[in-house]
Structure 1
Amino acid sequence: MTSRITIIGAGPGGYAAALRAARLGAKVSLVERDQIGGTCLHRGCIPSKTMKTAAEIFENLGRAKEFGINCKNSPSLDIRRLMGKKDRVIQTLNHGMRGQLKEQNVTILKGEGFVNKHGLVSVRHGDGLTKEVQWDRLILSTGSEPGGIPSIPYDGERIISSDDILNISEIPDSLIIVGGGVIGCEFASIFSAFGSRVTIVEALSRLLPLSAVDDACSKVLQREMKKRKIAVNLNSTVGKVDIKGERAIVTIIPVISEKNSEKKNLKPVELEIDKILICTGRRSNIAGMGFGNIGLELDSGGWVFVDQHMQTGAEGVYAVGDMLGPEKVMLAHMASAEGLVAADNSMGKKTEIDYSAVPNAIFTIPEVACVGLTEAQACERGLNSRADSILFRTLGKAQAIGEIAGEAKIVSDVETGLIIGVHLIGSHVTDLIAEGALAVKNGITLKELAETIHAHPTIAEVMADVARKALDE
């Protein structure tokens, strides 16, 4: 008998699971209330990277004279045309994804998925009609949504989310970004390049305060943001917000702790700005989907528990992607990998997920990318490790293209020479991190990396250079 697999959520995790399960011979139903591609395609990775490309082009035009190119007029940004470009990219990719699903005979059901009981899902259409779908295995991939601050609720005009800013109709003269994590720093880079006066407010002591990101990358990013006149307020929060017509008065309050007690005399600062962008993480969006009807186990944050096979505590039910929460890895490519594992196991295989070598790509200007252990994590684990760094300014390609800001660091095991972490900041490092992920995943040594011939002149040469340095060559 053909296995009936129903998947709720058609983001990167659900999409990957649907294709894999179909190719393994399952009869697949894919339920999606919005658009195929989920947050990544429509409200995250793809639209923001289209905007980031525009930001880089805009910056490069501004320094054209450095390369002997004379422009008669100063470049200007047509935000409407940029939004049109972004929408066309999304439509193209969405069409391609639908074509792939159709080719594999995946049934796409548009509507709200609701789990009635074990073995039965109902799909509620916008027209009020409901279709019931029977399943032998259920894969959940319902994603997440922008978090918020209860005291500063979104209004879609002055106080906006990361979803709202992707459909903005004009560039704000001034923008406060609450949260100096990945999303906040990416938008700070984009809108600073577009000409906004950007202020970041981060409650912790550094930008990108993620355990996966090496502290050195955070320091370089903050330095480069300062050069771009982005104001960075660390150890700070946003207190009172007063909306006055088309402007907002924002109070920035210092956060005093034992580590920065010398700043206890700092006073709150008021800024008058155009928009407030809240980038304080993501939250679960599983409410009202009937998961309690199958006894799905959740933690206090509403995130779903799974084992190494992506199986939940409910029989025959798997979960992938953002709905697993920050205890896992909330990245689109990780959701896809989890989707493949869930599909394999739903079809009787015994595949386990591996979180040891997940690359992280952060599209700031300059870019940040990392994989494996940081220098601090290696020390915390008591490993006999060392960390070696090379500056991008030593590279011929970096000098030739005028992108000299950056650094490459490799964390390695002293005794074996195994590469256990790679941390990069600089031009094109979100592409370069693939080499680092390959090294960490496959147990590559410093010697093997150093002896791998890298093309010249390329940014990738920095990997061989830092490996040689780690070998004391």
Structure 2
Amino acid sequence: MTQQVTIIGGGPGGYEAALVAARLGGSVTLIERDGMGGSTVLTDCVPSKTLIATSDLMTDVGASAELGVKVPAAVRPDLDAVNRRVLLLAQAQSADIAQRLEASGVTVLIGTARLTDASTVVATLSDGENRTIVSDAILVATGAHPRISADAQPDGERILTWEQVYGLTAVPEHMIVVGSGVTGAEFASAYNGLGAHVTLVSSRDRVLPGEDGDAATVIENVFTRRGMTVLGHSRMESVQRTGDTVVVTLTDGRTVEGSHCLLALGSIPNTTDLGLEDVGVVLDDGGFIEVDRVSRTSVRGIYAAGDCTGVLMLASVAAHQGRIAISHLLGDAVRPLDLSTASSNVFTSPEIATVGVTQRQVDEAEIVAEVAVLPLGSNARAKMQGVHDGFVKLFARPDAGTIIGGVVVGPRASELIHVIALAVSASLTVDQVANAFTVYPSLSGSIGEAARRLHRSV
């Protein structure tokens, strides 16, 4: 008998789940409010990384003299053209996802949804029609939206969330970024690369407080060397706009004046007005849906995936949660979510990529591990490319030599981390990684060298 599956939300958690469900023979209805891909594709991950690609190019151009290339000093980005490209690529990616869903036989409804019981969803479509859908299972993948403050209200022109920056037509003269987590650091790096003066307001003692400490130190040093002002131990009290000027007032009374302010204050789950609590789905104090490692909520037949669960707010994790949920409910083979094998990346310049065990866990004796760190400055390919900042770090168990974690800081770290992620997920030893051939010269050669440094003779 064909199982009916209803999915609320068309971001990575939702559309990946829909594709798996269709492939496994389910009858799938997907309800999305804004467009296929959700905020990840339309206003968040895809647009921001497209903007960052242009910023990275500008950074490379600025460093070209070291490689013997003279570039006119007047080279400047056309931010209006950049942002038009950003939005076009986002729409194209959304259209590609819609085509894949249609080709797979998924019924897509544009509108909002609300649960009336554990098996029934009422969809309010964009034309006002209400449609009742009864299912064998429901997946909630509604994502999250930017957190704002009562004392810092975005106006979409000078005071902005990360969803609103793509309306800018010129590089800001002075961008004040409030928040030094991943989103804040990425946009601070991007606008710095595009030529804006940037002030980064951080309430903590360093940028990227949730990342590897050695990696965060590298990034902060690069930021300041490239002219960014980093204000540590500084908490925003309010943001006010007067004409073309924005003033950020800090809790200690200091003020920072700029042309624009970007608020990177975290995210709020999109879990209100869905009827979740009415049907018994448990939410935590932050409004996130509580799920287990196969994406089940507290109500039988209702699953959840992605940022609305707060598990690990990455598109890749959302997609994995969605795939796991569908595999579980349709009886396919499933491996529960294991965040110790999940790799993540911070798209600053240089990038930070991590997987598995962290330095903090080792320092606090939660995990016993041997550590090898190899600066990229010693890598032949890095020297050829003019790369000075970054390193490769590996963590391995001291007894078996199994690789249990790693950090890469450098250009395209998001690509380099994959080999370490494979080693972690497959429980490879340092010798197995060390004995695999790497290209010479290559940045990946530093991963092999770090593994060799962890070899223990018998």
Give TM-score scaled by structure 2 length. 0.96
Aligned to 2:343: 359
Pairing 1:471–2:458 present: no
Q: Which moved more, 1:344-353 or 1:79-88?
A: 344-353
Q: 2:258 aligns with which of 273, 280, 288?
A: 273
State the SS of the aligned residue for 1:443: coil
> Does structure 2 retain, via aligned residues, the 8 Å contact 1:392–1:462?
yes
- Determine the C-alpha separation between the residues in 2 that align with 1:458 and 1:14: 37
Are the equivalent residues in 1 in contact too, given 2:87–2:166 (CA < 8 A)? no
1:284 corresponds in structure 2 to 269
Distance (Å, rounded) in 1 between the aligned partners of 2:15 and 2:82 = 27
Which position in structure 1 is the counterpart of 2:166?
166
Deviation of the 1:380 alpha carbon: 3.0
1:323-373 alpha-carbon deviations (Å, 9 max, x no partner):
111xx2110000011111001112134622222210011100010000011
1:64 deviates by 3.1
- After superposition, residues 420-431 of structure 1 pair within 5 angstroms as 420-431=404-415
- Closer, same or farther in 2 for the Cα pair 1:125/1:382, shift >3 Å? closer
C-alpha contact 1:62 1:75 (8 A) present in aligned 2: no
The corresponding residue for 1:66 is: 66
Letter in 1 for 2:267: R
Q: CA deviation at 1:472?
A: 6.9
Question: For the residues of structure 2 that align with 1:166 and 1:409, how far apart are their CA atoms?
Answer: 35
Query: Which has the larger displacement, 215-224 or 147-156?
Result: 147-156
Specify which of 282, 294, 316 is matched with residue 301 of structure 2: 316
For residues 130-160 of structure 1, give each alpha carbon's deviation from its aligned partner in whole angstroms, at most 9, with x where no partner exists.
1221211001100000112232122222221
- Equivalent in the alignment of 1:455: 439
Correspondence 1:332-411 to 2 at 5 A: 332-349=315-332, 351=334, 352-411=336-395
Q: Post-superposition shift, 1:179?
A: 0.7
Which shifted more, 429-438 or 346-355? 346-355
Where 2:5 maps in the other structure, the secondary structure is strand
Inter-CA distance 2–240: structure 2 relative to 1 (3 Å threshold): closer
1:412 is the counterpart of 2:400: no
Equivalents in 2 of 1:150, 1:372: separation in Å?
A: 37
8 Å contact kept, 2:67–2:386: no
Instruction: Please name the residue that 1:293 is paired with.
Output: 278
Do 1:174 and 1:274's aligned partners in 2 also have CA atoms closer than 8 Å?
Answer: yes
Aligned partner of 1:221 in structure 2 is 219
CA deviations on 1:9-39 (whole Å, 9 max, x unpaired) are: 0000001100001111000000001110012
Take 1:466 and 1:57, find their aligned partners in 2: how far apart are those partners?
A: 29
Offset at residue 445 of structure 1 (A): 1.1
User: Matched residue of 2:323: which SS?
Assistant: helix
Q: Look up the match of 2:84.
A: 84
2-side partners of 1:73 and 1:235: how far apart? 36
Give 2:237's aligned residue. Answer: 239
CA–CA separation in structure 1 for the residues paired with 2:70 and 2:431: 46
CA distance in 2, matches of 1:243, 1:89: 32
Aligned-partner SS, 1:155 = coil
Aligned in 2, Cα 1:242/1:15: closer, same or farther, shift over 3 Å? closer
Shift of 1:120: 1.6
Q: Tell me if the contact between 2:277 and 2:283 (Cα under 8 Å) persists in the aligned partners.
A: no
CA distance in 2, matches of 1:383, 1:62: 42
Identify the match of residue 443 of structure 1 among 420, 427, 446: 427
Query: Given the superposition, is the C-alpha separation of residues 189 and 73 from structure 1 closer, same or farther in structure 2, using an over 3 Å criterion?
Result: closer
Measured after TM superposition, the shift of residue 168 of structure 1 is: 2.1
What residue is the counterpart of 1:260 in the other structure?
none
**One-letter amino acid of the structure 1 residue matched with residue 171 of structure 2:** I
Q: CA deviation at 1:381?
A: 4.6
- Which AA in structure 2 matches 1:455? V
Mapped pair 1:433 → 2:431: no
User: Where do 1:255-270 residues align within 5 Å?
Assistant: 268-270=253-255
Runs of 4+ in 1 over 4 A off after TM superposition: none
In structure 2, the residue matched to 1:53 is 53
The residue type paired with residue 430 of structure 2 is L
Matched-pair contact (CA < 8 Å) for 1:379–1:385? no
Q: Distance in 2 between matches of 1:19 and 1:13?
A: 10
Please say which of residues 234-243 and 378-387 is displaced more in the overlay: 378-387
Contiguous gaps of at least 5 residues in structure 2: none
Q: Which residue of 2 aligns with 1:261?
A: none
Number of aligned residue pairs = 456
DSSP 3-state at the match of 1:356: helix
- 8 Å contact from structure 1 (residues 247, 274) kept in 2: yes
Deviation, structure 1 residue 166: 3.0
SS in 2 for 1:439: helix
Greater Cα offset, 451-460 or 379-388: 379-388
CA distance in structure 2 between the partners assigned to 1:160 and 1:76 by the alignment: 23
Cα drift, residue 391 of structure 1: 0.5
Match of residue 148 from structure 1: 148
1:184 and 1:279 in contact (8 A); partners too: yes
Tell me if structure 2 keeps the 8 A contact 1:309–1:350: no
CA distance in 1, matches of 2:251, 2:416: 39
Is the contact made by 1:375 and 1:386 (CA closer than 8 Å) also made in structure 2?
no
Deviates most, 444-453 or 342-351: 342-351
1:176 & 1:73 partners in 2: Cα distance? Answer: 25
Change (3 A) 1:465 1:121: same
SS in 1 for 2:446: helix
- The alpha-carbon deviation at position 382 of structure 1 amounts to 4.0
TM-score by length of 1: 0.93
Name the CA shift for 1:370/1:170 in 2 (closer, same or farther; >3 Å): same
Contact 1:114 1:122 in 2 (8 A): yes
CA 109–439 in structure 1, closer or farther in 2 if over 3 Å, else same: same
Q: Distance in 2 between matches of 1:412 and 1:74?
A: 48
Residue deviations 1:198-218, cap 9 Å, x none? 1111112221111xx211001
Give the alignment of 1:175-194 within 5 angstroms: 175-194=175-194
Structure 1 portions without partners, runs of 5+: 255-267
Which stretch shifts more, 145-154 or 360-369? Answer: 145-154
Native 8 Å contact 2:321 2:337 kept in 1: yes
Equivalent pair of 2:67/2:385 in contact (CA under 8 Å): no
Indicate the SS of the match to 1:377.
Answer: helix
Measure the CA separation in 1 of the matches of 2:32 and 2:342: 27
